[in-house]
Structure formats: C-alpha cells, structure tokens
Chains A and B, each alone.
Chain A
Amino acid sequence: MLRVEALAFGYGARIVGAEVSFALRAGEVLCLLGPNGSGKTTLFKTLLGLLPARGGRVLVDGRDVARWSRAQLARAIAYVPQAHTALFPFTVRDVVLMGRASRLRPFAAPGRADHAVAEAALASLGIGHLAGRIYTEISGGERQLALVARALAGEPRLLVMDEPTASLDFGNQVQVLAQIRRLARSGLSVVLSTHDPDHAFLCADRVVLLHAGRLAALGTPEETITPESLRRLYGVEVAVVALSGQQRSVCTPVLP
C-alpha cells in the first residue's frame, strides 16, 4: 500500500538523505534503525507530507501523495509522535477525538459516531478506563497508548510512529510493541523507528537500516541485523544470538 521511490528529503536547501526506496504491504511492520542524525525523523516528516519531498515520490495505493490535501493524507497515514506533555489539560477522550479531524468538515465538531470510534480505539488498546482522565496527568506509557488511540481514531491505513518506545519503562515498551504486532494482524501497516535492534526482532517484518541518509540495508530482521551491519551503523561490537526455543534472535553489545 505504501511505496517510496528514490526519495530525497531534507530541510529547505539542506538535503539530509537521498535514494531511499522501499515498499510496504498492508499488515506489515517496517522498522527503521539508524544512529542519531541518520535522517529518521526527516524521512518520517517527508512520508507524512510535513516536509516536501526533495526528489523521488511517495505513493499510497499507487497514487502520488504530493498534491493531496492535509485531510486526505491524514486519512491514509496517521502520525504517532513521541509521548509528550501537552500544554492544555485535555481529557484523554478529547485528545483521541482530535484524531477524527481529518474525517470531519472544517466547521464540524465530533458527534455521536465520532465518540463511538474514539471509545472503540481506546478499548482496542485496553485503555478504555483512561477516557475521562486528564492527558497531562497519566503516565508516559499511557500517554503513548493514548496517542496511538488518537491515530487509530482517524481510521488510517498506515501508522508512522516516531520512536514509540523511547522514554518508556521496560514493561511499557513491551506493551507498545505487542500492540503494534496486534494492529498489524488487523491489517494496518506500521512504520516505526527505534534505537533498540531487539525491538525490530520483536515486532518487525522488515527492517530498513539508515546510515547518513542512505539506505544501508533492507530486508527481514535476520538478514539485516548482523554484527557487521550494527558495527557499521553504530561503531560498536555487537553479538547477535539466536534465542533457544524461539524463532528469534537477540543482540547484546560486546564490551572491549
């Protein structure tokens, strides 16, 4: 459903990355790995249409999104920012309802049907009980899930998540990753970035390694996440070990 062709991206005249191509089917999870400054966030902003593409194309269902309206784009691709502290003490329900903006006409406010969609989104993530709570007063993990619910409320086809596990404790990280897997099983496509290669092993179907704005590798986690590729990417020694009894590997740094 998503196709990125020779995409170049950057701020204004400064090109951060180029020649990035990949494709994503419905229900697939793609994990973006790369060191700080490799261009992950800029790539995401370009995918979301927040920055214009400096070259190449982004296609949704074979159609170039360059000329799409904001609402049209938001209905297809939803953004889950890092759990932040909002300024105003909105309730979680109000925050999730904002995800309906792309489905409402400009002068409209959310109605009964929109409330139902918002409640369903909260319930599907197991945080229905948070609806009446104040967004600024819940925990970081709960906020991250509330932002996922807000994205789901727009009924998108693709979720773009910027380091959804950053600044979460271990338990919340696992919870968010489990929800990503579950959402993908329901047919949603997900693109996420992370700093932890293990998270790619846990939830990704495919992995993109981004190095200095260029695509360093693209493939399954097992193909792409190797001691050699991680050494090139991060400049540290890493061991990748198959977990006995499970069809999955883990990585661990090797200290000199």
Chain B
Amino acid sequence: MTRSAAPAAAGVGAGRRLATLARRAGPLLALALLALLSLSVGKFGVPARDVFAVLGAKLLGLVSGVDPTAQTVVLQVRLPRVAAALVVGGALAAAGATYQGLFRNPLVSPDILGVSAGASLGAVLGIFLALPVAAIQGLAFLGGLGAVGIVYAVGAAVRRHDPVLTLVLAGVAVGAVLGAAISLLKVLADPYNQLPAITYWLLGSLAAVTLGDVGAILPAILLGLLPLVLLRWRMNLMSLGEEEARALGVETRLLRPLFIASATLITAAAVSVTGVIGWIGLLVPHVARLLVGPDFRRLLPAALVLGAGYLLAVDLAARTLAAIEVPLGILTALIGAPFFLWLLATARRGWA
C-alpha cells in the first residue's frame, strides 16, 4: 500500500507540473502562432514556411533565397507592426491592470490621469508645428508624463478628501482642459494635410511604426514594468484602499506614486509611437481577471499576454478587413465595447 503510494504521488506531481507547464506555455504558444499568422497574412500573402526562412536567415545573417518582395514585406512592413502590437498591447493592458487595482474602480483605464490627453496634445502640437516624426513622438511622451504630473500636483495640493477620489477628479478636470487645447489646434490646423494626420494619430495606428521606434520605447516600458513585477504581491494590498493598506503596514505614500509613475511611463511610451489606442487598458484587465483571478501575481502576466494578443489580432483585422486600413481606435472600441457589455451582463462576482 505505502510502497505503491510513492510512485503514484510522484506521477501525480509530474502530471501537475506538466499541467502547470501547459498553462504557462500554452498562451505564449498561441501568441507566437498569432504573430506568425500576422507575418504571413495580408494583401501580399507569404507562406509560413517562407516567413520562417526569412526570419531564420535574418537572425543567422544568411541569404534565404525567398522572393525579395516577400522578404521586404515580412521584415520591413509586417515585423515592425507585429513587434509594436505585442509591446504596445501588452504595455497598455499591464498599465490598465495597475490603474484599476490602484484606483479600485472598474471604469479606470490608463487614460484616467490624463496621460492619453497629454500625449495627444503633445503629438497634435508636433503635427501642427510640422515637426519631424521623432519630435512628435518625443512631444507625445513628454505630454503624457507632464499631464499626469500636473494632475498629481493638483491632487496633492487639494489634499482634503479621499486622495484617490481627488486624483481622479483632478484627472477629469485637467483632461478637459487638454481636450479643449487639442480642439483648438484642430480648428487652427491646415485642413488638407495636418487635420487628417491629427485625426489618424488620435485614433491610433501601427502602420508607420518602425523597429527603431519599438526599440526606442522598449527601455521605458521595461523600466515601468520593473516595479510592477517586483512589487506584484504588494499591489494586491493597494486594492484594499488607502486606510486598510496602511493599517496592514504598507507604505502607500511611497507605493502609490511609484505605481502611478510606472503605469504612466508605460502608457506614455506606448502611445507616443502608435497614437491613442483606447479600450485595451480598460477591457483586457477585466478579461484577464476573469481568467486567472484578481491576484496581481497572475493578473500581470495574463494581462501582458492577452493585451499583446488582442492588439495583434485587432491590427491584423485592421489591415485585412477592408480595402483601406481601418484606424485601430475604431476597431478596439467596436470589438471591445460590446464585449465589455456582455461581460457586464454575465460576470457573476464582484467586477471580476
């Protein structure tokens, strides 16, 4: 009896390890397949075999022998988009999960403290002044950080009521002012060249992103993710609210600004190259929570993978559905909003 129990237990342990491995590797594998699909599908179809050949040759520094047009399409056109979709989608979802826990509110997205509005104003100003692309991206990045800085300063100055509520309300007010400034620039902009560019930027697109852009924002995003990863268990306590977290021994006055700065850095970096892409930061964390529960230790990786996959799929749809490319913001909202409502109607517990 006891003799046979030991190998059986070992078998169960191995089985469980295998299941854990499948649970962890499965989503990543699905993401890789989706990326492969994105690299091969489009107006110019490239067979998966050729995609592998092109990527392998590029990595090893060899000549692949694949049709040069196919090479250009895979390496110059699609690879930057796929890389940007993975990075930006994951980044926005991670930032959204952080903000939702921090502000204990289901309607919170990375835009709540004005980061998108600030980035938009920066980019729109750059387009209005006909600056080069890099300068537009830089202005967007600084605008996003600056807006949250102002909101945080206002919140700290008012400091009378619930600090979280004050921050959110300050975000709404500052966002309104920034929105007005954006509208003013749109009215003043050249309606034939600048206005369409502004409109496209405000709806988000991966069409113009280069690998260099992705490389430029990656350090900022990784830097922002670092505190979230290191403090992932403490993040759970932040969702209890200021007083309870402090009573449990958490230095919320240090952690809250740190988490806000991290999520803001991530969001500002992401939207600076792609423009505003709404709904991912709001929707994906909900779905992730539904799948893996509220523990931030599992929620963060789930949100990263789901966000990356969602933006990749949406971008694939954006460039294959119609003859002209559909701006991403339109699709993320068109797909996201009904899904969100369905979630609202069916979710059983809490706000899942």
Contact = CB atoms under 8 A, between A and B. Distances in A.
Contacts of B104: 87
> Which of A72, A99, A101, A108 has the most C-beta atoms of chain B within 10 angstroms of its own C-beta?
A101
Contacts of B246: 49-50, 70
B256 interface: no
B350 A86 contact: yes
Interface in A95-120: 98-99, 101-102, 104, 106-110
Contact of B249 (A86, A89, A102): A102
A75 interface: yes
A102 B248 contact: yes
Interface residues of B, number: 29
B325 interface: no
Interface string B202-243: 000000000000000000000000000011111011011001
Interface residues of A, number: 37
B351 A87 contact: yes
A146 interface: no
B294 interface: yes
A71 interface: yes
B287 to A, nearest CB: 14
B349 A134 contact: yes
A106 B231 contact: yes
Contact of A98 (B237, B243, B352): B237
A81 B236 contact: no
Nearest to A109: B233
B350 A87 contact: yes
Interface string B139-171: 000000000000000000000100000000000
A101 B289 contact: no
Interface in B9-31: none
A206 to B, nearest CB: 23
A108 B349 contact: no
Contact of A50 (B160, B234, B247): B247
Given A50-B243, A79-B248, A154-B248, 19 more contacts: A48-B247, A50-B247, A70-B251, A71-B250, A74-B247, A75-B249, A78-B247, A81-B244, A87-B350, A89-B293, A94-B236, A94-B295, A98-B236, A98-B248, A101-B234, A101-B237, A106-B234, A107-B230, A107-B231
